[in-house]
Amino acid sequence: MVGNPKKLVVATSSSALFDLSESDRVYREEGIAAYAEYQISRESVPLAPGDAFPLVRKLLHLNDTLGRELVEVILLSRNTADTGLRVFNSIQHHNLPVSRAAFTGGAEPYRYMKPFGCHLFLSTNPQDVRAALANNMAAASILPSARTHSENDRLHFAFDGDAVLFSDEAEQIYQKSGLAAFTQNEQQAADQPLMGGPFKPFLAALHELQSEFATGECPIRTALVTARAAPAHERVIKTLRAWNIRLDESLFLGGMKKADFLLAYGADVFFDDQAEHCRLASEVVATGHVPHGIANEA
């Protein structure tokens, strides 16, 4: 057991945590004043869960399993405190132990990630996600998913590799010169660890939290789900070894579609940098698009 592990801190926007689609429609069609009036007049009406809600609930439940608070969820919202009262009331209605928040009144929320010690920001606003990533903080746009969420207490995280856990240095070669050049480079650089991507610190924090549980009792599992295949697998394995980070499962799919594998793994959430991969994955699992790296430069 670790002596004094750091707390895992995840931030979520109000629109990721709750279904604010109708409120957003009012804002887009009638303006900010009508939106404020709409929210205030309904502040006692609880909001329905959003796409990040099941993940947030499972994360917070880990504290009950551990018997101490090692996971915290922070609300980072573009609302004002006035219009955000409905969100806090909804948090209380759903019995979520979320007590800290920043209501920015339309300003960029990522500025408060570092003061709160956040390892990850989940949002439905791509602009806010890109701003966080540009400032070297892990963030993802949560996509709508038709999947029926698992009600068990186990948490299964799945990550793409290049441009998510790792930098996009290898992906750049693939995008510019093709698969053969990519494979040759990865074979030649097999003993050189890849640089970390935006989700490396989050994975490290998850790994530390996993160490708080006895062998065989950890309710958190992590998996790499990558389009890489042999022989490009070796550099990935040696990179994780150099980082001293263990993944529970590693799937090297050689370009096969990831959705079926995510379903078989039982993923609660999957993070990928490529929009099309995210679209396909979101049909079976809650998915976070990480708009980072060369694939997103356009």
With beta carbons less than 8 A apart as the criterion, state whether 74 and 101 touch: yes
Angle at 87 between CA 83 and CA 91, to 5 degrees: 160
Q: Which of 51, 160, 162, 168 is catalytic?
A: 160
160 is an active site residue: yes
Cis ω before 231 (30° cut-off from 0): yes
User: What are the φ/ψ torsions at residue 77 (nearest 5 degrees)?
Assistant: -130, 145
Give CA–CA dist 217/75, Å, rounded.
30
Q: At what angle do helices 179-188 and 169-177 cross, to 10 degrees?
A: 140
- The HSE-up count of residue 71 (CA atoms within 13 Å, CB side) is 25
With beta carbons less than 8 A apart as the criterion, state whether 14 and 79 touch: yes
User: DSSP assignment of 124-156, as one string?
Assistant: S-HHHHHHHHHTT--EEEEEP--PPPP-SS-EE
Location of structure tokens 């219009």: 83
Catalytic residues: 160
